[in-house]
Amino acid sequence: MSLCDYSSYLSQRVYHHLSQVFKYELSFAELGMTDHFVLDLVRFSHLVSSSIEVYKTTWPIESVFGNDMDLFVGDGTGQYYWYALQAKVMAHNGDFEDLKIKVKGELQQWHKLLLHERLFGSQAFYLLYVGKSKTNSPTSRPTKTDCHGVAPIGDYGLSLVKAEDILKIVTRTTPMKFSEVFPDYVEPLRSIFCCPPSLLSATKLSKAQIITSAYQRVYARGKEDDRARNHNISDYPLPDGAAPVRILIDIIPTGDTS
């Protein structure tokens, strides 16, 4: 299975899983969804393809800019575009309960993500975990096209919305409903995993800049293999603006920039 096909498979799994959860008006934890997402990518990386690599920090550290994960997409020259991701899971009523203005006048999470864009030249997105709401699903069909055409609704189980669009929408309706971003502001994750990026980050980084000594590739291994044992966190400083998890994908083989 290609990385492109696998991204669609993962998205559809998320969509059908959450749809079943919402059928009974239950909820599912955001951290649990993210853990499953990262685990699936690690399995694919380890067993199927070298086109994706997953790295984590030695210590769990939450980014001050709100990015749960950093996604880096190669351009075929050994350089990578930087996408800063913040994950949110939908509730059974179609709301994203964490996407709301909490205290007016305070720095909201989307402001922090937009600050990340300005400081580091990234593109900031919300990664939305989506299912079919029992009571409040969008009535329109998908309209966005990518290099494979129009994605089916199941591919929106893993959806991307720019942080700047979240800012605009949450300002007028809070908490944000999925129907407020679908179909005009949202695109399926497959659009990045399958196609050359259409929305480019201002900054590109080399792999050496992305994967510093603060990170290790995620594989199953024993504690005796952990190179960071008996070291202080200061021995492995994080790069500026980094998230605890970094994902590298190469949809264009290095050297092929056509």
Mean pLDDT for 197-204 is: 89
pLDDT at 208 over 80: yes
The span from the CA of 179 to the CA of 41, in Å, is: 28
Supply the pLDDT for residue 61. Answer: 74
Contact of 22 with 134, CB cutoff 8 Å = yes
Indicate the pLDDT class of residue 173, thresholds 50, 70 and 90. confident
Q: 74: which residues sit within 8 A by CB, 6+ positions away? A: 80, 248, 249, 250, 251, 252, 254
pLDDT at 238 over 70: yes
pLDDT at 198 over 90: no
Mean pLDDT for 101-128 is: 93
What is the pTM (predicted TM-score) of this model? 0.92
Report the chain's mean pLDDT, rounded to a whole number: 90
pLDDT digits (tens, 9 = 90+) for 210-236: 999 889 998 745 454 555 455 555 567
